[in-house]
Chains A and B, each alone.
Chain A
Amino acid sequence: MKVLVAVKRVVDYNVKVRPKADGSGVELNNLKMSINPFCEIAVEEAVRLKENGVATEIVAVSIGPQQAQEQIRTSLALGADRGVLIKTDQDLEPLAVAKCLKAICDQESPDIVLMGKQSIDGDNNQTGQMLGALTGYPQGTFASELKVDGGKATVTREIDGGLQTVSLNLPAIVTTDLRLNEPRYASLPNIMKAKKKPLDETSPEELGVDVAPRVELLGVELPAERSAGIKVANVDELLDKLKNEAKVI
């Protein structure tokens, strides 16, 4: 069984980004870049499927600039078998990413596509669902548990009211939530080994994918600042302020 994992290169989650001085976009120069945390969970889940004898091959795919190779190499060090970089210097929208991934699905015929539920830069939460539409595969989004057995994936999903379980025919798409697993660290020997694993390169053009943007970014701004608050000395003062100043209790 083949598993495809989509990994995105994003600004590290510890970095607090700011708008560029002219407000045209987000200042990204010289920031620490990492694998999107949800994608790391997707890779870990794929590796566990392989360790449990369910998966036989893991292909890690990333769409992005040449440097996105780093995130593919990280995935290879964590246990993926080979990588595919779909190289583009354009910042692709989820629809275009989904179309690129659809083209890879056509080539690779995976049984399961594991993805993050959300990229922490654009906070879109769209690509897995859109790939589902384009491939016709069913989707198990926001997964906190995945079982694969007898041609089906059973996915426990984190929904607003609690948990929901669905059963999906394979091939299927699963997007990860934070509690699906805790990703391992790559060991030094595995990082060395990852350098020798195959990493193919292609491009949206080569895949025949139209990546023309549909949404224009007119600008970015900081959210409304909260005015500085005060420290209260004790519970009595707190309750007094909440009653008589803020009038919320």
Chain B
Amino acid sequence: MSILVVAEHDNSHLKAATLNAVTAALDIDSEITLLVAGSNCSEVASEAASVVGVGKVLLADNPAYADRLAENLAPLIAEIAPGYSHVLAPATTTGKNILPRAAALLDVQPISDIVSVESADTFKRPIYAGNVIATVKSADPIKVLTVRTTAFDAAPTEGGSASVEPLDITHNAGNSAFVGEELAVSERPELTSATVVISGGRGLASSENFQMLAKLADKLGGAIGASRAAVDAGFVPNDMQVGQTGKIVAPDLYIAVGISGAIQHLAGMKDSKVIVAINKDEEAPIFQVADYGLVADLFDVIPEMEQKL
């Protein structure tokens, strides 16, 4: 068996989520090929080649793949997939966008968001916002899977020595075009891989008040997250949303500030190692999952914490 992992990158660097997908692939089998599809992305291929556990890197360097449009990448993946028993990608917005399209071209039912590998054809995945975990077995000849990154450790980035093989396959559907991107720039660690995450909810009451969390996050070297209510209210941008339909995080320390703890929010953070909840309502459901709960007004607590750290 040999496994194809679709690498996530921005044409210059490999994204960390790829490393978790490699570990999931290694739970299935030891023969791993990484597909780097992009444009002017040979640097990414060299990074990919040094990831421990990767045996081969396929480099599809072509302007058609520059923006990772699903219309062009899915047929590329579908064309090479029949040489593999499994095709994996991290369950990021990129992986989720592309992999199901490739699977349908292969006439395969993909499995989203796996959190464990039971055997080569059997996997666990959360359903119903993580309220239950399903064990599912695929009968398809090729297993197409997206990997929940928080459930697998990152493979080491140094020490591997895979060969890089150029791939001369062009798919350019011509029916979609990249127009632009507005990416958040932040000095802070990335939300999904940070060891400390401090999230604010509707209780923060304004965008300015998130600055309080920012100061605390800086002291703790943490990232900032938010509930959907905070995003909907326009306090913070969408890429900060944690939850069933936002990002899944599992840091060592998660501090929920002014967040009630709706199941959709819990779905995104309840696998964190230590959870702290700060809420003035002692009945708030967030306290049911918190290791340490503090019933208090966040506007008193946050400045005090920041000052005492």
**Cross-chain contact B292 with A230 (CB below 8 angstroms):** yes
Cα distance, A22 to B81, chains bound together (Å) = 37
Given contacts A17-B131, A166-B178, A235-B305, contact A161 B293 (CB under 8 A): no
**Cross-chain contact B238 with A163 (CB below 8 angstroms):** yes
Determine whether A249 belongs to the interface, using a CB cutoff of 8 Å to chain B.
yes
- Closest residue of chain B to A152 (Cβ to Cβ) is B177
Cα distance, A123 to B179, chains bound together (Å) = 29
- Closest residue of chain A to B302 (Cβ to Cβ) is A235
**Complex contacts, B257 vs chain A, CB 8 Å:** none
Cross-interface CB contact of A214 among B132, B140, B290, cutoff 8 Å: B140
**Cross-chain contact A234 with B181 (CB below 8 angstroms):** no
Spot the interface stretch: A61-69, A193-201, A217-225: A217-225
B131-156 CB mask vs A (1 if < 8 Å, else 0) is 11111111110000000000000000
With most chain B CB atoms within 10 A of its CB, the pick from A19, A122, A218, A230 is: A218
Closest chain-B Cβ to A162's Cβ sits at a distance in Å of 4
| Docked complex: A79-96 residues within 8 A CB-CB of B | 93-95
**Cross-chain contact B231 with A179 (CB below 8 angstroms):** yes
Determine whether B102 belongs to the interface, using a CB cutoff of 8 Å to chain A.
yes
Determine whether B263 belongs to the interface, using a CB cutoff of 8 Å to chain A.
yes
Cα distance, A179 to B230, chains bound together (Å) = 12
**Cross-chain contact A93 with B180 (CB below 8 angstroms):** no
Closest chain-A Cβ to B134's Cβ sits at a distance in Å of 5
Determine whether B86 belongs to the interface, using a CB cutoff of 8 Å to chain A.
no
Determine whether A75 belongs to the interface, using a CB cutoff of 8 Å to chain B.
no
**Complex contacts, B100 vs chain A, CB 8 Å:** 94, 125-127, 129-130, 133
- Closest residue of chain A to B74 (Cβ to Cβ) is A133
**Cross-chain contact B131 with A168 (CB below 8 angstroms):** no
Cα distance, A142 to B98, chains bound together (Å) = 12
**Cross-chain contact A232 with B102 (CB below 8 angstroms):** no
Closest chain-B Cβ to A12's Cβ sits at a distance in Å of 11
**Cross-chain contact A232 with B294 (CB below 8 angstroms):** yes
What are 26 A-B contacts with C-beta separation under 8 Å? A13-B264, A26-B128, A129-B96, A129-B104, A130-B103, A132-B104, A133-B101, A134-B104, A136-B173, A161-B184, A162-B184, A164-B181, A214-B108, A216-B139, A218-B137, A220-B132, A220-B134, A222-B132, A223-B132, A229-B275, A229-B290, A235-B304, A238-B276, A239-B308, A242-B253, A242-B276
Chain B interface residue bracket vs A: 35 or more
Determine whether B210 belongs to the interface, using a CB cutoff of 8 Å to chain A.
no
Chain A interface residue bracket vs B: 35 or more
Q: Looking at chain A's contact residues, is the secondary structure mostly helix, strand, loop, or mixed?
A: mixed
B228-253 CB mask vs A (1 if < 8 Å, else 0) is 10011000011100001101000011
**Complex contacts, B301 vs chain A, CB 8 Å:** 235
Closest chain-A Cβ to B258's Cβ sits at a distance in Å of 15
Cα distance, A33 to B295, chains bound together (Å) = 35
Residues on B lying within 8 angstroms of A by beta carbon are 69-71, 74, 92-94, 96-105, 107-113, 122, 126-140, 173, 175-184, 192, 196, 220, 228, 231-232, 237-239, 244-245, 247, 252-253, 263-264, 270, 273-276, 282, 287, 289-296, 301, 304-305, 308-309
Cα distance, A133 to B101, chains bound together (Å) = 5
**Cross-chain contact B103 with A95 (CB below 8 angstroms):** yes
Determine whether A192 belongs to the interface, using a CB cutoff of 8 Å to chain B.
no
**Cross-chain contact B137 with A160 (CB below 8 angstroms):** no
**Cross-chain contact A226 with B239 (CB below 8 angstroms):** no
**Cross-chain contact B175 with A138 (CB below 8 angstroms):** yes
**Cross-chain contact A26 with B127 (CB below 8 angstroms):** yes
Determine whether A74 belongs to the interface, using a CB cutoff of 8 Å to chain B.
no
Closest chain-A Cβ to B250's Cβ sits at a distance in Å of 12
Closest chain-B Cβ to A15's Cβ sits at a distance in Å of 9
Given known contacts A142-B97, A232-B292, what 5 new A-B pairs fall within 8 Å (CB)? Answer: A93-B109, A144-B238, A164-B180, A179-B232, A219-B134
- Closest residue of chain B to A153 (Cβ to Cβ) is B176
Cross-interface CB contact of A218 among B122, B132, B237, cutoff 8 Å: B122
Determine whether A139 belongs to the interface, using a CB cutoff of 8 Å to chain B.
yes
Determine whether A21 belongs to the interface, using a CB cutoff of 8 Å to chain B.
no
**Complex contacts, B70 vs chain A, CB 8 Å:** 129, 132, 139, 141
**Cross-chain contact A26 with B253 (CB below 8 angstroms):** no
